[in-house]
Amino acid sequence: MTVLARTAEVTRRYGDVLALDRVSLDIRAGELVGLLGPNGAGKSTLINLFTGLRRPTSGTVELLGGSPQDPVMRRDIGVTPQETGLPEALRVGEVVDFVSAHFPNRSDRAELLDRFGLRDLVRRQIGGLSGGQKRRLAVALAFAGRPKMVFLDEPTTGLDVEGRRALWDGIRAFHDDGGTILLTSHYLEEIEALAQRVVVVGHGRVLADDTVPAIRDMVGVRRVTLSADTLPELPGVLGSERADGRVHLLTADPDRLVVELVRSGAPFSGLEIRPTTLEEAFLTITARENAHV
C-alpha cells in the first residue's frame, strides 16, 4: 500500500525539551489513524512536522512521496490545527468559498456544509457562531480542497455531543470515500469512534501502534495499592514499585490478583484499586518490556 506520510527516526527538540525522540511512523493510503497520548506527548509536534510547519532536528519526514516543505505536496493535504482564528465579519459561506478558492480541486460547497452539519449556518457571520460551530467550520475547511490526506489536531475540543457526532460523520464520510486521516486526541473513546489503528505516544516516543481492541486491552490496566512488608509472587503483575511506604502493583486483572493475595495469607492493609492513566499504563508496560530485553 502507498505510504502517504512517513517519519524515519525523527527527533525534534525545542531548546532543552525533547518533543519527539526517534519516531518512525508510516501512514498508508486509506488509513484513519488516531494519535493518542497525554498533553505534552508530542502529538502536535508530529502533526506540525508532517504538515511542514516545523522541521525535524534530525531524521526525515516525507509527505505524499516528497517534502512537507514543498507547496505542491501541501496543496493535497488539509489541516486543522488546535487553534484557528477566523475573521468575525465574514459569513460561513464566504469563508468556505475563500478557502476553497486557494485549491485547484474544490469540494462541492453544499456537500461540505452538509457533511459537517453547517448547511443552516451558511449565511451566519463567524462572530455569531458558538465555539462549537466555529470548531466544526474550522475542521470542515480542512476538506475544502479535496485533499488526499487530512491532519486534525484535537478536532472535537470544545464540542458538545451533537457537535461531536456531526464532526465524526463528516470525517467518516471522507474516509469512506477513500480519504486518509491522521487525528490526535487524548481520549481513547474518541479515537475508538473513528479509527482502526491507534498510535500511542508518550514522552516523544511511540509506545504502541496497534488496533483499537489491542490498545483497549493494554490500557485496561489497574493500579492495586496496599501496605505490606513482604509479598508473595502474584499472578498478572505487569509492574510494581514501592513508594511512600506503600506497594503499587499494576495489573490487567485486579480481581485475580486480590484473590491470590488473600489466599497467600500474607498480611496486608489499606487495599485500593484505581484505574491508571493512559500514560502510566503504557510507560509501565514498555518499561517492563525493555527490562526483559
The DSSP secondary-structure symbol of 107 reads: -
| Near ligand ADP in 153-212, by CB under 6 A | none
Interface segment toward ligand ADP; rule CB under 6 A; list 11-19, 188-196, 205-213, 271-279: 11-19
State the minimum distance, in angstroms, from the CB of residue 201 to ligand ADP.
7
State the minimum distance, in angstroms, from the CB of residue 50 to ligand ADP.
12
Cα–Cα distance for residue pair 247/194, rounded to 1 Å: 38
User: Grid cell 496497534 — which residue?
Assistant: 210
State the minimum distance, in angstroms, from the CB of residue 20 to ligand ADP.
8
State the minimum distance, in angstroms, from the CB of residue 236 to ligand ADP.
30
Q: Is 45 in the site for ligand ADP (CB under 6 A)?
A: yes
State the minimum distance, in angstroms, from the CB of residue 208 to ligand ADP.
15
Residue 25's DSSP bridge partners are 7
Q: Which is nearer to ligand ADP, 57 or 130 (CB)?
A: 57
Q: Which is nearer to ligand ADP, 15 or 178 (CB)?
A: 15
Coil, strand or helix at 136: helix
| Near ligand ADP in 15-44, by CB under 6 A | 17, 19, 37, 39-44
Segments in the chain forming alpha helices (H): 43-50, 71-74, 92-100, 109-115, 131-141, 161-176, 188-194, 212-219, 254-264, 278-292
Q: Is 14 in the site for ligand ADP (CB under 6 A)?
A: yes
Q: Are 245 and 265 in contact (CB under 8 A)?
A: no
What are the C-alpha distances in Å from 291 to residues 112, 200, 236, 286?
A: 50, 20, 16, 8
Residues in contact with ligand ADP by the rule CB under 6 A: 14, 17, 19, 37, 39-45
